[in-house]
Amino acid sequence: MRDFSWKYFINTGDVDAYLLYKEIHEQDDEEPNQEEVQDDAWSD
């Protein structure tokens, strides 16, 4: 979804598409990777 919103923004210049890209990018930075969560579960 992030790639789509970025490509849409590049092609159209739509500010809403950029804001969506930025929001998704920030969420990806906040949420731990699924593999990291599984690794943590096994380390207990």
Question: DSSP per residue over 1-36, as a string?
Answer: -HHHHHHHHHHH--HHHHHHHHHHHHHHHHSPPHHH
Domain ranges of the chain: 1-29
pLDDT confidence of residue 12: 97
Q: Which pLDDT score, from 0 to 100, does residue 11 have?
A: 97
**Alpha-carbon gap, residue 23 to 39, rounded angstroms:** 27
| pTM, two decimal places | 0.60
Q: CA 12 to CA 17: how far, in whole Å?
A: 9
The predicted-structure confidence for 1-44, as pLDDT tens digits, reads as follows 788 999 999 999 999 999 999 999 998 887 765 555 555 556 55
